[in-house]
Structure 1
Amino acid sequence: METLSSKIDVEEEKQLILLTLNDYLQGRPVIDIERLRAAFHPDAYIRTVIEGKLVQWALPQYLDLVAQATIQECQPQLLSYTWDGDTGSAHVQLTFATFRFIDRFNLIKLDGKWLIVDKVSYREELP
């Protein structure tokens, strides 16, 4: 039986996870590097496939690449998220005029805050 206390705990976890995901979803389109940095663990890795090869960046390299991007109109969307204990995952997408990033995150809760520790990204060209 679910108690009031467990319902409050679930809602609190949802809000904490959403804070982190929103830092990414709202920070990336406007290239807010500090907001992005807040969403990720300092030792996070970002991975994608480019021309059939795995490419990965440590967080500082990734943030440097994002900082060089041009701000474009973007539709950020949280597709799903889930968690068990202090680990979780999320599926998001950022849709720009001519392409879309589809991202999957692994999340860890440390010191009361959820952080992205791993991002796997796919870029889909749009017609």
Structure 2
Amino acid sequence: MSDYEAVETVVKSFVAGLHEGDVDRVQAQFAKDAVVNGYYEGECIRQDLHGYIGVVKRNPPPALLDEEVDMHLTAVEVSGSVAMVRVCYLYEALFYTDHLSLLKIDGGWKIVSRLFHHD
């Protein structure tokens, strides 16, 4: 698998894990020291991975509500051992745009930063 394909796989697995409420799958896509920042309903959110995973655990998974996965990778750029991805997806009736930074760590790709916004 190419690095480009591996990066896409990580991002798709992250969004699928959110959709299914699979906290372990979501967490596995992130580096342990990852950060999550963005705006939720107008409030600036700044969290470490532990805080973000707590939010994921509290929210009902869209799959239980029979919502379909609606995800689009709108930009993927890989430069050696770093990558940037912009992904848009529907989650809990909100349309999110995430800017994800990934690093190749110990031979595998991990999200180290998630910047998000929703409409």
Taking structure 2 as the reference length, the TM-score comes to 0.86
Instruction: Name which of 54, 71, 75 aligns with 2:44.
Output: 54
Q: Mind listing any 5+ residue stretches in structure 1 that lack a counterpart?
A: 1-10
Any idea what SS the aligned residue of 1:55 has? strand
Q: Which amino acid aligns with 1:90?
A: V
CA RMSD of aligned residues (A): 1.7
Higher relative contact order (CA 8 A, sep 6+): 2
- How far does residue 52 in structure 1 lie from its aligned partner after superposition? 5.2
Describe the shift of the 1:50–1:85 C-alpha distance in structure 2 as closer, same or farther (beyond 3 A).
same
Distance 1:31 1:97 in 2: 11
Distance 1:24 1:42 in 2: 15
Aligned counterpart, 1:84: 79
Bigger Rg, structure 1 or 2: 1
Instruction: Name which of 83, 103, 109 aligns with 1:108.
Output: 103
Please, which moves more after superposition, 47-56 or 101-110?
47-56
Residue deviations 1:52-105 (CA, integer Å, cap 9, x gap): 553211101101101111222141222221111111100011214732111000
Runs of 4+ in 1 over 6 A off after TM superposition: none
* Aligned residue-pair number: 114
Distance 1:29 1:122 in 2: 17
Distance 1:50 1:59 in 2: 16
Percent identity over the alignment is 21
